[in-house]
Amino acid sequence: MRNFKNSTIYQIYTKSFQDSNGDGLGDLNGVTSRLDYLKELGVDYIWLTPFFVSPMNDNGYDVADYTAVDPSFGTMEDACRLIAEAKLRGIGLMFDMVFNHTSTEHEWFLRAMKGEEKYMNYYIFRDGSPDLPPTNWESKFGGNAWEYVPHLKKWYLHLFDVTQADLNWDNPEVREELKKVILFWKEKGIEGFRFDVVNLISKPEQLENDEIGDGRRFYTDGPHVHEYLKELVRDTGIADMVTVGEMSSTSLENCIRYSNPAEKELSMVFSFHHLKVDYRDGKKWELKAPDYQELKSLLETWQMGMQKANGWNAVFWCNHDQPRIVSRLGDDQNYWKESAKMLAACIHLLRGTPYLFQGEELGMTNPGYPDITYYKDVESTNYYEIMRSQGKTKAEALQILAARSRDNGRTPMQWNGGKEAGFTEGTPWITIPQNHEYINVETEKEDETSILNYYKKLIALRKESSIIADGKIEFLYQENPDVLAYRRFNEQGELRVFNNFTGQKVVLEENVAGYAVLLGNYEDAQESQAGIVLRPYETVVYRK
Ligand code: TEU
């Protein structure tokens, strides 16, 4: 295994990366054709989102066959070629295991629907009358989390879409089936796994109504989750591979256990608390300006807590479920380049393994879709209807989607300024923003000061500096909401990182005499002096 602490992991949303056959959908051969770009960027691993057989109600997170390639993405030969070609370039692949649920088109579920008891035990079925779901739990995509099956006179649980039925991990046969999936892909030569919402797999034995919430407190980091993870890792021999778990609404205490090497669970975890600082009262579909003080204190709590107990974070701003960070915490109009670079340095220099989501390295923005017909994501289309039925006007609902929709992160990779951004020769499955004319790989490669070249520097720096890869972290200016600042240090030296999160000048009484500027996002980064003046969205990294 490579050292995952000095590695950078690149996330590819397969459907939106590169189309190779003109059908408007990204595919495996498309990914293979772009490996040289990723090698040049310097990334160590690719996390590839699901390309398995699926009815695509949730773009592949509804898996109908875990060990077969969906024809829209290519063939098994294409997958094997991708793994081999990546390996030749020193890049390891991580595949995405969606084990909390299967598609309702999976053979197991189809057989359960026929009333086969063995397969009914693979899922979470409960008796009940047609008008009263077993609990009041809510689906993450809106509505009640249970679906009634008239001919079985039972309800099944789906924490996500109605076509994503939750698996019953308490059944040892289910756990054995999933281990076989891991072994199947492991034998194909991949180097790691990402586990989708893996902290939701263990539901309590007694299911009860949630009088104060949507039910998540009962099944999040559930009763047997650590035991089941340990078993999965032990029996598939993946303790030495790179693994990351996506942890929904988790706690620090649990994340320490998931990622502390002594526990032999996972290499690292994604947690999302820092990406809710613009949710009003914690509600995704209610807008609020980002609370930077809250962002700072969440990052600090998690960084310090994980450090203290030997846990390890995946550090990230973007993925296929999140809006684009430069449109969210930066200023994609007036300080596009500066704020994108500041956000890059800020996250890449934290303690943890950075994840870079396709197009983030270009400063790709939210597309600003003007109408509901542009949206494809099941969560967005569901919530549009919900918001409308709750009395929001069309314009209000669209404004919220423009900020919150998962489709914001799913627009195709912008390779060049030409038609459809070089993503496809056909019609893309989702509209590409006009700004691909200047935000694209071709243009940014040529520009030494581009966001792309800045990311390249950050990725290379991590390889050169043990301070970045594995140094300690301590936060500075905790009470100042305008800057996020911290120091990283070990026996090799010290870095001081200052990030101005505002569009105004910020003055800090900081003595950096004796330090040199290692990196900045303005052409003329200041040399060390007593006191620092940070320009709008400026980031400066000092080194001693
Ligand atoms: O996401 C889990 C998850 O809880 C959130 O992404 C959720 O979809 C959103 O924040 C609700 O507002 C994972 C995958 O990353 C996502 O793409 C899948 O849709 C989901 O699991 C189900 O498999």
Mean pLDDT of 408-429: 98
pLDDT in tens, 5-22: 999 999 999 999 999 999
- Given 118, 150, 165, the domain boundary residue is 165
Q: Identify whether residues 447 and 491 lie together within a single domain.
A: no
* Strand, coil or helix: 506: strand
* Average pLDDT of the chain, as a whole number: 97
**C-alpha–C-alpha distance, residues 415 and 82, integer Å:** 20
- Judged against a pLDDT cut of 80, whether residue 530 lies above it is answered with no
- Judged against a pLDDT cut of 70, whether residue 79 lies above it is answered with yes
* Distance from residue 169's CA to the centre of ligand 1 (Å): 19
Q: What is the structure's pLDDT at 3?
A: 87
Q: Whose CA is nearest to atom 14 of ligand 1?
A: 196
Q: What is the structure's pLDDT at 2?
A: 72
> Domain range holding 484?
469-543
Ligand 1 probe mutation, 15, 321, 322, 379, most atoms within 8 A of CB: 321
- Judged against a pLDDT cut of 80, whether residue 416 lies above it is answered with yes
* Distance from residue 351's CA to the centre of ligand 1 (Å): 25
pLDDT in tens, 190-239: 999 999 999 999 999 999 999 999 999 999 999 999 999 999 999 999 99
* Distance from residue 284's CA to the centre of ligand 1 (Å): 13
Work out the percent of the chain whose per-residue pLDDT is above 90: 97
Q: Identify whether residues 394 and 508 lie together within a single domain.
A: no
For the purposes of burial, counting CB atoms within 10 Å of the CB of 516, is it exposed (0-12), middle (13-18) or buried (19 or more)?
exposed
Pairing of strands 192-195, 92-97: parallel
Q: Whose CA is nearest to atom 4 of ligand 1?
A: 248
Q: Identify whether residues 44 and 30 lie together within a single domain.
A: yes
Q: Identify whether residues 111 and 97 lie together within a single domain.
A: no
Work out the percent of the chain whose per-residue pLDDT is above 70: 99
Query: Which residues approach ligand 1 with their CB closer than 6 A?
Result: 58, 61, 98, 140, 160, 196-197, 246, 248, 284, 320-321, 379
Q: Identify whether residues 245 and 153 lie together within a single domain.
A: no
Q: How many residues can be counted in the chain?
A: 544
Q: What is the structure's pLDDT at 528?
A: 57
Catalytic residues: 196, 246
- Judged against a pLDDT cut of 70, whether residue 121 lies above it is answered with yes
Mean pLDDT of 175-188: 98
Mean pLDDT of 106-121: 98
User: Is the distance from CB of 413 to CB of 16 less than 8 angstroms?
Assistant: yes
- Judged against a pLDDT cut of 70, whether residue 525 lies above it is answered with no
Q: Which residues pair with 103 in a beta bridge?
A: 164
Q: Identify whether residues 160 and 205 lie together within a single domain.
A: no
Mean pLDDT of 247-257: 98
Mean pLDDT of 109-134: 97
Q: What is the structure's pLDDT at 21?
A: 98
* Distance from residue 232's CA to the centre of ligand 1 (Å): 22
Q: What is the structure's pLDDT at 527?
A: 62
Q: Whose CA is nearest to atom 18 of ligand 1?
A: 61
Q: Identify whether residues 131 and 156 lie together within a single domain.
A: yes
pLDDT in tens, 37-63: 999 999 999 999 999 999 999 999 999
CATH number for position 517: 2.60.40.1180
Q: Is residue 405 part of a domain?
A: yes
Sign of CA dihedral 259, 265, 268, 269: negative
Q: What is the structure's pLDDT at 542?
A: 95
- Judged against a pLDDT cut of 90, whether residue 474 lies above it is answered with yes
Ligand 1 probe mutation, 66, 138, 196, most atoms within 8 A of CB: 196
**C-alpha–C-alpha distance, residues 333 and 298, integer Å:** 27
Q: What is the structure's pLDDT at 529?
A: 61
* Distance from residue 461's CA to the centre of ligand 1 (Å): 32
Q: Which residues pair with 193 in a beta bridge?
A: 95, 243
**Which residue has 């039972």 as its token pair?**
154
Q: Identify whether residues 116 and 51 lie together within a single domain.
A: no
* Strand, coil or helix: 186: helix
Tally of domains in the chain:
4
Ligand 1 probe mutation, 49, 160, 198, 386, most atoms within 8 A of CB: 160
**C-alpha–C-alpha distance, residues 324 and 336, integer Å:** 12
Q: Whose CA is nearest to atom 11 of ligand 1?
A: 140
pLDDT in tens, 296-355: 999 999 999 999 999 999 999 999 999 999 999 999 999 999 999 999 999 999 999 999
- Judged against a pLDDT cut of 80, whether residue 1 lies above it is answered with no
H or E element in which residue 476 lies? strand 472-476
Q: What is the structure's pLDDT at 531?
A: 85
- Cα 336 to its chain centre, rounded Å, is 22
Q: What is the structure's pLDDT at 384?
A: 98
Q: Is residue 417 part of a domain?
A: no
Q: Whose CA is nearest to atom 5 of ligand 1?
A: 321
User: Is the distance from CB of 17 to CB of 33 less than 8 angstroms?
Assistant: no
Q: Identify whether residues 389 and 249 lie together within a single domain.
A: no
* Distance from residue 383's CA to the centre of ligand 1 (Å): 14
Q: Identify whether residues 213 and 323 lie together within a single domain.
A: yes
Q: Is residue 222 part of a domain?
A: yes
Q: Is residue 415 part of a domain?
A: no
Q: Which atom of ligand 1 is closest in space to residue 248's alpha carbon?
A: 4
CATH number for position 317: 3.20.20.80
Residue 523 binned pLDDT confidence (cut-offs 50, 70, 90):
confident
Query: Considering only CA atoms, which of 4, 425, 69 is closest in space to residue 239?
Result: 4
Q: Whose CA is nearest to atom 6 of ligand 1?
A: 321
